[in-house]
Amino acid sequence: MTVSAQASVDRAWLHFQDRFIAETPRSRELTERAKAVLPGGSTRTVGWFAPYPMVFERGSGPYLFDADGRQYIDLFCNGLSLIHGHAYPPVVDVADRILRSGTAWPGTSESQIAFAELLSDRIPSHGLVRFANTGTEASMLAVKLARAFTGRQSILKTWAGYHGSYDVLEAGLHGKGEDPGRARLGDFNDLRTFERAFAQHGTEIAAVVLESVMYTGVVTAADREFLAGAQELAHRHGALFILDDCLMFRLAEGGSAEYFDIEADLTMLGKFIGGGTPVGAVVGRPDIVGQLDPHRADRVYHGGSFNGNVLGTACGTVAVRDLTGSVIADMDRRATRLRTALEAAAAARGLPLVTTGIGSAFGAYLSASVPGPTGPRDDVPMSRLFHLAAIRRGVLIGDGNEFALSSVVDDDVTTEAIDRLTAALDDVANELDAQN
């Protein structure tokens, strides 16, 4: 981007920002209040954007409503953690019943058993299930189990691969590099870098941890050969293969393992499997997950007051049960329609725009070509402009222009989203014309 073009984009951004502030006075007021008790007025990193994100009051189906009474079509679903949208009636009915009978007990519940049976049946490995409370907790437990099983300490993952807020798995993110003895790094979709890592550090690597689609940053799907090759490489060197399916369990009834025809030693789950409540899980080989068996003298300790709580497992059973193959196919079809419409609308307005992704999850970037998942990105100023334009037109997308459809985004809502996003592209094109 030339200096003059950058200056035009910067001026357009300031205009959009000023309009957003004028349109969301109550969100601004509440954000200022929040800053007194929350760092920066926020309690999570994902979802924050300048000048401030909206403060929401309620959600219903595919829609969110903010403190200023503005309605948004939700195409981000709380970071892909709401597969059936907001206040999904079957989950609400179950939650109402559970809330009246107690939400967390110290022992096993029937809902916990039923949910574990459902997850074990869905995932190709048909393994044992251990519940946690979040995807981050599931990732911590999976690493703990791999270390105990192999007697090794290091994990091999990818640059820019996101696996929650566990420091070992944050290597390659947020400006962090390798953590010798704890975390080694390779490049996504480049098996040669994994081969080099094993050649140099194979005796210390307990497991390879991969997601089938890198979603944080630039949405990037794995090559089938890469996933299968990484699994074979891990096993050849005595390491485990761990699949992080917190985000992409949506790709098929059996998640990424079914979609990509692989079978992980351990699968990490989180996000939407709780039906809108915080639930995480590790599903895997009985000889690995079985290390947690309390009957064993050498058992691996794993605590958690709310692991497998009645509310989460009951709501999760409904959410996963209702994510059928036909529902997934409908979400995928509507996502393809949305991507095609976005690309066509941008081209008609002389704006560069590319989409990349898989199934019902994708990214949209105002760029002539797909940005790389690592390294500098020339598209960020323009993509940020489109993000705020979409917000102002009432479509909520991820702060990195990530999209994810839920089951309640039907054909009519998809049409409505296309209309609003087309108007957002008009806003971008018109503002840039005014600045040139």
CA separation for the pair 394, 413 (Å, rounded): 12
- Stated as kind and residue range, the H or E segment containing 185 is strand 183-186
64: CB partners within 8 A, 6+ apart: 56, 58, 71, 72, 74, 86, 396
For position 292, what pLDDT does the model report?
A: 98
- Stated as kind and residue range, the H or E segment containing 384 is helix 380-392
Contact 147, 278 (CB under 8 A): no
Give the pLDDT confidence of 211-252 residue by residue, as tens digits: 999 998 899 999 999 999 999 999 999 999 999 999 999 999
CA separation for the pair 285, 194 (Å, rounded): 23
Contact 282, 141 (CB under 8 A): yes
Strand, helix or coil for residue 281: strand
**Domains of the chain, with CATH numbers?**
3-83+324-435 (3.90.1150.10), 89-321 (3.40.640.10)
Going by pLDDT thresholds of 50, 70 and 90, the confidence category of residue 46 is: confident
Contact 300, 142 (CB under 8 A): no
Is pLDDT at 109 greater than 80 in this prediction?
yes
What is the torsional sign of CA 53, 77, 99, 134? Answer: negative
Peptide bond into 352 cis (omega under 30): no
Q: Which residue has the higher pLDDT, 5 or 413?
A: 413
CA separation for the pair 403, 384 (Å, rounded): 14
Residue 153, both tokens: 């300490």
Residue 408, both tokens: 């309640």
285 closest CA partner among 257, 255, 265 = 265
